[in-house]
Amino acid sequence: MNLETGIPVIHSDGDILVIDKPAGVLSIPDGYDHAVPYLRRLLEPSYGRLWVVHRLDKETSGVMVLARTPEAHRALSLQFAGRQVSKTYHTIVEGEPEWDEKVLDLPLRASVGRHHRTVVDIGNGKPAVTKFQVLERFDGYALLAAIPETGRTHQIRAHLYDLAFFILSDPLYGHMRTSIYIDRMALHARSLRFWHPSTGAMVTFESPCPADFEAALAQLRYLTVQG
């Protein structure tokens, strides 16, 4: 834990900084209010110049890598663009999947309509592939692993929406009307695997699900047993 920023640091070396981003922290500056704290502003006083390689939505928690040199930024960006990075998310969804695994290969178009949602668009969307696995089942809900092979905006949320599943407490693609309490979207970046930009070694970093996520799961397990 970085005591000055309150952001847990998973790994740090001369090339990369791997953090456990808390929910509620912006990955990049707010487009309307530049005074709102974001990762670089919070971390650079302690770690020096940082480059953002990829993003997590504000309410998404979990593992995230930032580059500490221009060379590392270039190398990591090429890996993300070339689909060489493995990302696994955990999410709690409303609904009970009839499948154990599903691969969704549907193109997505971002920033559609007044709510700026990402939607499936066969004709004009960009290629997007997400693999889903059911990890645990509850009455009316499920814990899923989501493994995106591409990095489209809101990809997991939009693909789940197309399957008629909603991430718990997601106000943009779902709703807030649920008896299971978590005060933010139940989406967590669980692991990240990539080639280290200097050593060339394959490295994997993981982030355990945070307390609010685990509390929601505990409530679901209790209600399912009682039910």
The residues that are catalytic are: 57
Give the residues across from 108 on adjacent strands. 120, 126
Give the chain's length: 227
Q: Give first-to-last CA distance, the chain, whole Å.
A: 39
Contact of 123 with 110, CB cutoff 8 Å: no
Report which of 182, 184, 205, 199 is spatially closest to residue 61, judged by C-alpha positions. Answer: 184
Strands (E) across the chain are located at: 9-12, 16-21, 51-52, 61-67, 86-94, 101-105, 108-112, 117-120, 129-138, 141-148, 166-167, 187-195, 202-206
- Residue 128: its H or E element: none
Instruction: Give the dihedral sign, CA 33/37/30/59.
Output: negative
